[in-house]
Amino acid sequence: MNLIIFAAIAIALLVWNIVTLTLYGLDKSKAKKGKWRISESTLIACAFMMGAIGALAGMSVFRHKTKNIKFKVLVPMALIVNIGIAALVLRLYQF
């Protein structure tokens, strides 16, 4: 049973990080076209909601928000928080 729950959580995290990566790509595309953008707070919130790997990948792949000090500080901080939450869940549920 634990393996099924672990697999479901892992798949959900993978999907969420792909969504976060996609949001960074969409925002970069919209920025280039001068269209309505995804707010910085939304992008950062996605990172803190277990999407830090996708956010970092989006920053790297799309070269987006890499010079913005908020993102340079908060997205790596989100990764640390994400790792802490994952470790806590793994410990609590003894996966």
Determine the pLDDT at residue 95: 65
Q: Hey, is 34 helix, strand or coil?
A: coil
Calpha distance 14→20 (Å, rounded): 10
Model-level pTM greater than 0.75?
yes
How does residue 3 score in pLDDT terms, banded at 50, 70 and 90? Answer: confident
Whether residue 93 has pLDDT greater than 90 = no
Domain boundaries, the chain: 2-93
Rounded-to-integer distance, Cα 73 and Cα 71, Å: 5
**What are 49-85's pLDDT values in tens digits?**
999 999 999 999 999 999 999 999 999 999 999 999 9
> pLDDT band at 94, cuts 50/70/90?
confident
Chain centroid, CA 68 distance in Å: 16
Q: Which helix (H) or strand (E) holds 92?
A: helix 69-93
Taking only the tens place, the pLDDT of each residue in 5-22 is 889 999 999 999 999 999
